[in-house]
Amino acid sequence: MTEHEVLRAENIAKGFGSVTALRDVSLRLEKGEVLGLIGDNGAGKSTLIKTITGFHRPDEGRLLLDGEETVLKSVSHAQSLGIQTVYQDLALVDDLSVYHNMFLNAEIVRKPFPFLNGRAMKEKTRQYLADIGVKIPSIDTEVAMLSGGQRQAIAVARAVYSDAKILLMDEPLAAMGAKEGAMILDLVQRLKDEGNVSIILIAHNYAHVFEVCDRVNVLQHGRITYDKNTGDTSVEELTELMVSEYRKARAGGEEE
């Protein structure tokens, strides 16, 4: 299925002062593919996502979208190119209602007037949440009143229903119960079956990765150190890979 590369990152480096989060990351994403991205805490997964979404400017390296080199000027620039993100911190505004958050920066207005169309946004919000199967007491309540899983559901729904070509999901299941987590995974599976969107999914639970991902990449020491189709590897192999890393580090024999 190597037909079309929607995204390619080449030699991306990004540091924050003295901290080097990404050293030399190269990664590719094909059309309709779900790529699992795993790595230790602090490995730089979120930083990589935020670089692809236009939030961070890479210090070095380049991004290619549909084979064309692209410098992302801002998050809204990336959005206009079809890149949507579920951030690890969810990017919700606590003081705003559920439906305002659902349409944050994609608000529906009463054209040709610049006024918000609250009714349309509420209707669609209800529809999206029902579609996923997530229950939220009232879409008029402020997001601050919701549980962690409910908040995450809103962040996921917002990205998924925004007509994305590339969907970046940074631990979208972190706060989910088993049932809600399964719902989100089903949703990802559905998107995959439709084949219009390519997804990078960050997860710490390898079972989730194997459930929906076509391919898995491991990010370590600011580099992608492992790249295999999920069919060619296993939960055991990945676990072994990550833990052996830890053992080596504990033995103090780590070479840079």
Partner 1 sequence: MAQTPPKNESQVETQKQSFGSRMVGTLLRRQEASIFVVAIILLVYFQASNAAFLSQGNLRNLGQFIAATAIIAVGLVMVMVLGEIDLSVGQTFAFAPIVMWIAYEQLLLVLPLAVIVGLLATAAIGLVNGTIRVYFGVPSFVVTLGMFFLLSGVNVTLVGGFPKTAPEASAIKSALGAYPYSGIIWCVVIVAFMHILLNHTRWGIHTFATGGNFTGARESGIKVDKIRVWNFALCSTLAGFAGILEAMRIDSIDPLAGGANTMFLAISAAVIGGTPLAGGVGTILGAFIGTLVLSVLQNGFTLQGVSAFTFNIILGVAVLVVMVLSVYIGRIRKGRKVT
User: Which residue in the set 2, 18, 41, 138 belongs to the binding site for ligand ATP (CB under 6 A)?
Assistant: 41
User: Which residue in the set 6, 27, 38, 44 belongs to the binding site for ligand ATP (CB under 6 A)?
Assistant: 44
Minimum gap (Å) between residue 175 Cβ and partner 1: 11
User: Which residue in the set 47, 51, 85, 217 belongs to the binding site for partner 1 (CB under 8 A)?
Assistant: 85
Stated as kind and residue range, the H or E segment containing 28 is strand 19-30
Per-residue burial over 37-53, b if 16 or more Cβ lie within 10 Å, else e, is bbbbeebbbbbbbbbbb
Binding window for ligand ATP (CB under 6 A); candidates: 37-45, 92-100, 126-134, 135-143: 37-45
Interface with partner 1 in residues 32-71 (CB under 8 A): 50, 53-55
Residues 6 or more apart in contact with residue 173 via CB below 8 angstroms: 152, 181, 184, 185, 203, 205, 208
Using left for φ > 0, alpha for ψ between -120 and 50, and beta otherwise, residue 218 falls in beta
Task: Tell the residue number behind the tokens 């080199």, with chain if given.
Answer: 69
Answer whether 194's CB lies under 8 Å from 209's CB: no
Of 19 and 144, CB closest to ligand ATP? 19
Binding window for ligand ATP (CB under 6 A); candidates: 25-33, 43-51, 104-112, 231-239: 43-51
Which residues of the chain form contacts with ligand ATP (CB under 6 A)? Answer: 16, 19, 21, 39, 41-47, 88
